[in-house]
Structure 1
Amino acid sequence: MQDDLELKTKSKHFGCYKPICQMVVVFLIHLRFQEQQRCGHCLQIFLRPTKYLPPFHPMVHFILFLLPQGLEKLCHIQLLTTPTVPSDIFQKNGANSEEIERLWKKTRLHVHLLHLKDLLTSFNSAVRDARVSYFSNLVSQSKGNPKVLFNTISSIVSPASPTASIHSVADCENFLSFFVDKVNKVRSSISPSALSLPLPTPTRPIILDSFAPVSLPELTKLVNSMKTSACPLHILPSSLFKSAFQSIGPSVLSIINASLVSGQVPAYFKNAVIHPLLKKPSLDPSLHSSFRPISKLPFISKILEKVVAKQLTAALDEHNIYDSFQSGFRRAHSTETALLRVSNDLLTHSDAGDCSVLVLLDLTAAFDTVDHHLLLERLRDWVGLSGSALEWFSSYLSERSFSVAVSKFRSSTTSLTHGVPQGSVLGPLLFLLYLLPLQHILSSFKGISYHLYADDIQLYISFKPHEMSKLQLLHTCLDSIKTWMAGSFLQLNEDKTEILICAPDKLVPKVRDSLGQLASHTKPSVRNLGVTFDPALTLDSHVSSLVRSSFFHLRNIAKLSPILSRSELETVLHTFISSRLDYCNSLFTCLSRTSLNRLQVVQNACARLLTKSSKHTHITPLLLQLHWLPVNFRVHFKILVLVYRALHGQAPSYIGDLLSPYTPSRSLRSSDQSLLVVQHQAKDQR
């Protein structure tokens, strides 16, 4: 139990529709157990459990007014603080050093010079110890959150990532205008004829007509599982919200259940603050188009969305509503499972002597152009929502607003009439449901396979060398996709459409000519969900990029090794290097021995840095000492894990479909061993 409490202060507005009060908030980062009890008792005085009945908007006003009052009361609690780096190191040693330095310059006595050197040595030692303590605490506190650890260490050892160049409220207003105009431009570019085209509407039985109220233990468990976040709209800092939830939980439960029962969402919950996030570090930060709008919502709003998402997801899974080839934002699905299925299909056709064409499609501002009216129709017709559940989503989407805020600057507020908020809990899920009709369009083209990861669309078609005419089907499929997307207010970014031809070198020109207008989009290699595909599917380009980036980070980490303990250094190495080697490594079964050896060199360098061994030290004992599996065994282990999960229903169905149980023609001792049929590869398979 920590006895320290770090305090940071900032000025913040509280309110629902209008700012109710303005006050200084004490942001509690580490709270002693005794002070947690005082915090909860203080807030409990202001928030006594009460049964509220809809309409509950005045209740939200009431709660949002009382929470700041309770926090204001809490701010008078006197707590001892211990800074991370003691300031007396600089004050005491600096003053003494300056005094002795002046004395030495005045007398030029050797004894004063020696005294000055001793003081400087002591000062440097104290600073070094403080740095070691600082980084040790930093790594240990972020050990359970690799994302935070990665961002923190990167900011120390690497150049700072470019951020939005916002220096005034006017800059925020410019970003706000850009995000609004971008969506309006996409919607206005859609021809009226496309909107009039009839879209298929199936008749689906009702799967959810109301949301069930939750109990306090369920809500407490859900809140404890949520990550803390920062947002200018928080009525309480999320860390304090979670630590004091035992006291404020009954009041929050009343708001959540009132919303679920009435099918209404409070206006305060629908106000977001947009933070511009740079899409890629290589993009120009001076251009507005280089940024993606990320919504920051009140923590209590995310709690409500989490409750709704849990019940909706359970209904979707029970009735098998999802597109089976959609891997985005779904449990047990990932970029790795998606790429594993795509690469397996391409390699299988390559072994059979077929040619393949892979098409990667990109959408322009996909989340931001979603039409609310069409989304509600698809929730009703394609999903099967009705009653208060459908009314809840209608309220959730209506009268939304947002503003742009960076640092201390914030723009005016404007209405959000289109799109689902990125950064919210329900936004990604609603987008997947918005794309449900696309499944029926893509599956209607026999011979064309597809895979989706949120708004990333992959199409691939395979054919014999004498069947080039089948590529015409690809043109027809793309035309149908464009037509449907226009009617759904979605737009393909044709400039980012990429095509990879997987065929023998002598057939590539012929395939390219058969592609017609699509030939201009062919690339020698394509980056697909973080993995670089090449025509021969050797992944050599991906391995080269992986090795290069790994050694870049390894050199930076080596600068921190003198001030990190062994366990902390190992945590950093796993975060920066091992995670890269393990990303989608189930695809590495097709790697040549040379490529695997290049990846093994990276792991060997990590082991030598961690154990402080020379480059001539034999690596096998080091890996055994660290209990690290070599790269090739890590690949086999990942495949075994995926197969186990597929056999036990814990993997996507499209992975399980690739496994064929072995059934002997007669009764054998191996009949009860759950063996699988081994797929034979081509003789020249890598």
Structure 2
Amino acid sequence: IITSNPDDVLVFSQTSIPGISKHDLIFASFSYQTVVPGPETISFNDYKNFDSVKLLHEFNEIPWSLFFQMSNPDILCEFFYHHLLNLHDSCIPVRTKKIVLKNSQWFSDSIKRAMSDRDLAYSAWLRDRTNANHINFKRLRNRVNTLIRDSKKAYFDTFLDSRLPSKTLWKRLKQTATVTNTKDVNKIFYSPDSVNAHFLDSVPDVPLVIPPIDHTISPLDFNFRPIESHDIVNAICSIKSNACGLDGLNLQFLKIITPIAIEQITHLFNKVVETGQYPLCWKKSKVIPIQKKSNLRSLNNLRPVSILPVLSKAFEITIKKQITEYINHHEYLNSNQSGFRTGHGTNTAVLQVTDDIASNIDRRHIALILFLDFSKAFDCLNHKLLCYKLKNLYNFSFHAVNLIYTYLTGRSQLVSIDNVFSSSLPLTRGIGQGTILGPLFFCLYINDLPSVLRFCRFHLFADDVQIYLTDLLQDRNSLVNKINQDLNRVLLWSRRNGLVLNSGKTKALFLYRTRETPALLPVILDGVTIELTDCATNLGVIMDSKLNFNNHVSSVCGKISGIIRSLKYSSPYLSRETRLKLCKSLILPHLCYCDVVYSSTSRLSLNKLKVSVNRCLRFIYNIGYRESVTHLQNNLLGCSFTNFFKYRTNIFLFRLMKSRTPQYLYNKLRFSNRARRFNLNIPRHFTSFYNATFFISSARYWNELPVQIKRQRTLNSFRIHILSHYNR
């Protein structure tokens, strides 16, 4: 023991610790005065036990007649929040709960007595090191270990019962550290003011010249219609997060009060629409910084999570519904935009791009794809330019544009770290993070980008833009020149629209099937040579130059191994059902993500996936590596691994046929003239490479199904019948 103040050491010695370590414990006692803290308590609002009669009476005592005479949204909000928050404080009781640090609940008196007997036997063996004393100590030590193991298992079988609701189970799992608790790795080492300033200063400011908005009125222009009460109720019920904004009104109380306050909320919402004035209190956001990577102390490692007033979210949901219906009716969004659209997703976007490229490679072409990176794209959106586009490109009325402009401007944010708040700073550009309308507005903002492309094909997923071009191998120089020309056009477009194209993070991937890598001219963006990589991540899928997805499969297998490794220490205390539920929740999402894209991988990679799945089953059922687990695969996957990707492909295909969305994939299907059999024609192809891709294999899998399965009307019945078919 090394200390700078030896006089403060009262006692120091060493002692044995049987059952914990073979080494002695070295300890010391120091002379320090300590303050014993009082019991720690927490206070919370009890939304389950309140006086509903008192709540209704006090609500009716509020002078609502004055409220309905008002028309200014800011004054309406001030009145509404003042009285409702007072009502909340008056009628919702506050409970105080003492935090008691309990001993391990699996620890029992019998274990305590057994440990005492073990320690006595250990002391006896130290005094008289006979064989009999040593055997007696080991017997009692093993008995303690058995009691602890059995007690832990019995406790966790109940505490982590697989029949518990998922929310309760995940909460308990975090308490036991079975899964990673994000609170433990999200310690922020910066002041709230410095974090807030960083979030706003990191956004580049690009000056723009924006033409004035046309004020002419057309009967065909889009106008917001009055909001109905049932739309508001549906919007409030659809909100999932209980996080409370700076307004102080939380979702739990709003849901309680909505049945009696729906008339007042409807009046408030419609006055916002009628006046075109978005309330100022709805523009203030509380930002919680979250670390992108743990154990990395850098402001650049932080990302903001904004918490907005819950009532503003409900309003945005109702407005978004009207805008989406109008945009979809007139088909304003580019068909190759997959971001934040019903029936579209990352899997459909990547499948579209990879199939386009693969079909051209099947005809002996090569391909070059670029993944464009816009720096802080959502934060760089120019409010006036968006409003100009809404009026001139999408025929929004001037009144609707005015409401959207007041929605976008005048926003502010403050950062909260451990309940310490920064000062409020204004947001002068960009779309507020966490808003409901933000993603839709950005898709409309970037929607005209493809119009500048002359040679390349493209696909958009919000701000993720990929452009690609195919050509014959001997014309590869012409291909690169065409891509460079289109890149320059995209660069000019981004400058005109206030977005910053980051040449350092933009990646290029050259795809080919020849044995030797052909030489290419450099790809140039803004005078910078773009890095040509062997593989690149496209919306979470690792694409390689041969388009065989071996790297992606290796990544999936690595994630599965990491999850099993983190779970194995708690395995003895988890029931088989809980282990199965954990694997379905933690591992299957990695296996299923974009499986329609990467399932065309090589047999070797598919075998690696099978080995990973079998490893999961051995973890679940506690089976050794020498025993077969093939017969257990359907418990985890729903069917055997051999049929799993067939099942997933047919489910995807059934959804596509029923919804006909996205159109860019549905148009690739070719239906057989023999309508009674509901078959698909297999696309013509020339190589074994394309033979394994989705639109070839899916047609085969579909045609193999019995007619009665293909005739099912609903997805649920189709899923039941197809699983029954594959599990025969």
Q: What TM-score, normalized by structure 1, do the two folds share?
A: 0.81
**From 63, 85, 90, the counterpart of 2:80:** 63
Aligned: 1:264 with 2:289: no
Give the drift of 1:131.
Answer: 5.0
Counterparts of residues 264-663 of structure 1 (less than 5 Å): 264-279=277-292, 281=293, 285-442=296-453, 445-446=454-455, 448-468=456-476, 469-505=478-514, 508-512=517-521, 520-624=530-634, 628-663=638-673
Matching residue within 268, 275, 279 for 1:255 = 268
Give the corresponding residue for 2:35: none
Please state how far the C-alpha of 1:176 moved relative to its aligned partner.
Answer: 1.8
Counterparts in 2 of 1:115-134, with a 5 A limit?
Answer: 131-134=156-159
Contact 2:152 2:573 in 1 (8 A): no
Contact preservation (8 Å) 2:174, 2:180: no
Q: SS at 2:236's partner residue?
A: helix
Give the match for residue 19 of structure 1.
none
In the alignment, structure 1 residue 684 sits paired with structure 2 residue 688: yes
Q: Write out per-residue CA displacement over residues 137-187 of structure 1, whole angstroms, 9 at most, x where no aligned residue.
A: 89624289xxx779959964348588665457xx1111122222222xx22
Which of the pair has more CA radius of gyration? Answer: 2
Structure 1's unaligned 5+ residue stretches are 1-7, 11-24, 664-669
State the shift of 1:518 in Å.
6.8
Aligned partners of 1:596 and 1:143: how far apart in 2?
35
Deviation at 1:625, TM superposition (A): 5.2
Distance 1:615 1:120, change over 3 A: closer
Residues 501 and 427 (structure 1), Cα distance of their counterparts in 2 relative to 1, 3 Å cut: same
Matched, 1:220 2:242: no
Contact 1:498–1:522 (8 Å) recurs in 2: yes
| Alpha carbons 2:385, 2:497 under 8 Å: kept | yes
Structure 2, unpaired ranges of 5+: 1-39, 126-136, 693-728
Distance 1:88 1:149 in 2: 19
Q: 1:54 aligns with which of 68, 71, 75?
A: 71
User: Is the alpha carbon distance of 1:587 and 1:632 closer, same or farther for their aligned partners in structure 2, counting shifts above 3 Å?
Assistant: farther
The whole-number CA distance in structure 2 between the counterparts of 1:120 and 1:36 is 51
Quickly say closer, same or farther: Cα 1:127–1:27, change in 2 above 3 A.
farther
Alpha-carbon distance in 2 for matches of 1:441, 1:150: 53
Report deviation, 1:63. Answer: 1.8
Question: Please, what TM-score do these two structures have when normalized by structure 2?
Answer: 0.77
The Cα RMSD (Å) is 4.1
**What residue is the counterpart of 1:667 in the other structure?**
none
Answer 1 or 2: higher relative contact order, Cα 8 Å, separation at least 6.
Answer: 1
Aligned equivalent of 1:16:
none
Cα separation, 2, equivalents of 1:74 and 1:308: 32
Q: 1:424 to 1:210 in 2, by over 3 A?
A: same
Assess, with a 3 A threshold, how the Cα gap between structure 1 residues 128 and 150 changes in structure 2: closer, same or farther: closer
In the alignment, structure 1 residue 140 sits paired with structure 2 residue 158: no
Q: Share of identical aligned residues, percent?
A: 23
Give yes or no for contact 2:107–2:148 (8 Å, CA) kept in 1: no
Residues 1:156 and 1:208: Cα distance change in structure 2 (over 3 Å): farther
Greater alpha carbon shift after TM alignment, 599-608 vs 485-494: 599-608
8 Å CA contact retained: 2:157, 2:573 = yes
Deviation at 1:538, TM superposition (A): 0.7
1:241 corresponds to which of 254, 263, 282: 254
The answer to whether the Cα contact below 8 Å between 1:142 and 1:149 also exists between their aligned partners in 2 is yes
Rounded to whole Å, the distance in 2 between the matches of 1:101 and 1:652 is 69
Report how many residues are paired: 630
C-alpha contact 2:336 2:460 (8 A) present in aligned 1: yes
Please tell me whether the aligned partners of residues 294 and 421 of structure 1 are also in contact (alpha carbons under 8 angstroms): no
In the aligned structure 2, how far is the partner of 1:48 from the partner of 1:234? 21
> How far 1:54 moved relative to its partner?
1.2
Which amino acid counterpart does residue 463 of structure 1 have in structure 2? D
Structure 1 counterpart of 2:262, one-letter code:
G
CA contact 1:176–1:403 (8 Å) conserved in 2? yes
Q: Assess if the C-alpha contact under 8 Å between 1:623 and 1:630 holds in 2.
A: yes
Matched, 1:173 2:198: no
Structure 1 residues 608 and 534, CA gap change in structure 2 (3 angstroms): same
Whole-angstrom CA distance in 1 between matches of 2:310 and 2:629? 49
Secondary structure of the corresponding residue to residue 604 of structure 1: helix
Contact 2:374 2:463 in 1 (8 A): yes
